[in-house]
C-alpha cells in the first residue's frame, strides 16, 4: 500500500514538473511580446471594470436584482469571474488544439510517454489570467466578508468552487473530444464561453424554460450560481453534496467521451 502511494505521489510530482515547464515556455512567448500582452491585459481589465460598474449602477438604480442586493449581485459576478479565470488559466491549450489535429502534430503527442489528455488540456497556462487572479481573489474576499458568512458557508462555497472547476474541466474535455470527431473546436469553445457567460448573473433572473435548462441540462447554474448561493446560506449542505456528486459524474462521463473520440482519431498523415 505504501509503495503504491509512493508511486502515485512520484507520478504526480513528475506531471507537476512537466506542467511547470510547459507553463514557463508559454509565459516566455507572451513576455517576449510585451505590447501584445499589455493590450490584452488592458482590454481584460477594462471589460471587467465596465461590467462591475454596469452591475453596480443597475442594482443601485433598481434597488435589487431578482431580490439580491448590490454586494450579493457583485459576488455572483466575482464568483463567475473566479471560476472562468482559473479554468482559462489552466486550459488555454484547448484553444490551440485544432491546429494539432489538422496539421497532424497530435501524432507526436500520442507517441510521447505522457498522458495525451494532460498535454492537450494543460499544455500551457495563460500568463494574462495569472496576472489577474491575485486581484480577483482579493475582490472575492473583500465583497464576501461584507455578506457576513459563517464558517460552514465558506467551506461549502470552497467545495462548490471546486465542483465548478470539475464541471469546467468536463466541458473543456468534451470540447477536445468534439474537436477530434468534427474539427470544429473553435466554434464549440466559443459556444461554451457564450453559454457560461449567462452565469455572470444569478440564473434566477431568467424565465423558464431557460432557467431549468441552465440548471439541469447545461449545469451552468450548478457551476457558477450555486457556489455564490452556498456562500449566502441559500443552499443546504445536502444540496451542495448532491451537486458535488453531479460534478464528479459529469467529469467521469467527459473522460469516457474523450476515450471514445481518441479511438476514432485518424492521423492527418495516414
In a domain, 132, yes or no: yes
Q: Identify the band that residue 2 occupies on the pLDDT scale cut at 50, 70 and 90.
A: low
Domain that holds residue 75: 71-263
Exposed, middle or buried by CB within 10 Å (0-12, 13-18, 19+), for 182?
exposed
**Per-residue model confidence (pLDDT) at position 110:** 87
In a domain, 6, yes or no: no
In a domain, 212, yes or no: yes
What pTM was computed for the model? 0.88
**Which strand (E) or helix (H) includes residue 48?**
helix 34-62
In a domain, 226, yes or no: yes
**Per-residue model confidence (pLDDT) at position 63:** 65
In a domain, 154, yes or no: yes
Measured in whole angstroms, the distance separating CA 147 from the mean position of its chain's CA atoms is 24
In a domain, 39, yes or no: no
The structural domain count of the chain equals 1
Q: Identify the band that residue 162 occupies on the pLDDT scale cut at 50, 70 and 90.
A: very high
In a domain, 59, yes or no: no
CA angle 123, 159, 78 (to 5 degrees): 75
pLDDT tens digits along 83-113: 999 998 999 888 888 888 888 888 888 888 8
pLDDT over 70 for what percent of the chain? 93
Higher pLDDT, 57 or 161: 161
Fill in the DSSP letter of residue 65. B
Q: Which grid coordinates are listed for 28?
A: 516566455
**Per-residue model confidence (pLDDT) at position 182:** 81
For the cut 60, the answer to whether the pLDDT of residue 270 exceeds it is no
In a domain, 103, yes or no: yes
Amino acid at each position: 500500500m505504501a509503495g503504491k502511494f509512493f508511486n502515485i505521489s512520484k507520478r504526480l510530482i513528475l506531471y507537476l514538473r512537466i506542467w511547470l515547464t510547459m507553463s514557463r515556455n508559454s509565459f516566455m512567448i507572451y513576455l517576449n511580446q510585451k505590447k501584445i500582452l499589455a493590450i490584452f491585459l488592458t482590454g481584460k481589465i477594462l471589460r471587467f471594470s465596465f461590467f462591475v460598474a454596469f452591475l453596480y449602477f443597475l442594482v443601485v438604480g433598481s434597488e435589487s436584482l431578482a431580490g439580491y442586493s448590490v454586494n450579493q449581485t457583485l459576488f455572483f459576478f466575482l464568483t463567475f469571474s473566479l471560476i472562468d479565470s482559473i479554468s482559462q488559466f489552466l486550459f488555454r491549450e484547448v484553444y490551440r488544439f485544432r491546429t494539432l489535429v489538422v496539421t497532424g502534430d497530435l501524432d507526436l503527442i500520442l507517441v510521447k510517454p505522457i498522458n495525451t489528455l494532460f498535454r492537450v488540456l494543460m499544455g500551457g497556462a495563460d500568463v494574462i489570467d495569472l496576472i489577474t487572479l491575485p486581484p480577483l481573489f482579493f475582490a472575492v474576499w473583500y465583497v464576501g466578508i461584507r455578506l457576513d458568512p459563517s464558517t460552514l458557508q465558506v467551506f461549502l462555497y470552497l467545495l462548490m468552487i471546486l465542483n465548478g472547476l470539475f464541471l469546467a474541466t468536463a466541458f473543456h474535455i468534451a470540447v477536445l473530444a468534439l474537436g477530434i470527431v468534427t474539427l470544429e473546436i473553435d466554434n464549440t469553445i466559443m459556444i461554451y464561453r457564450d453559454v457560461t457567460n449567462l452565469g455572470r448573473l444569478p440564473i434566477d433572473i431568467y424565465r423558464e424554460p431557460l432557467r431549468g435548462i441552465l440548471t439541469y441540462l447545461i449545469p451552468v447554474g450548478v457551476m457558477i450560481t450555486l457556489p455564490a448561493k452556498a456562500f449566502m446560506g441559500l443552499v443546504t449542505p445536502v444540496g451542495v453534496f448532491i451537486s458535488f456528486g453531479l460534478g464528479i459524474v459529469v467529469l467521469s462521463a467527459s473522460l469516457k467521451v474523450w476515450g471514445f473520440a481518441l479511438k476514432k482519431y485518424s492521423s492527418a498523415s495516414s
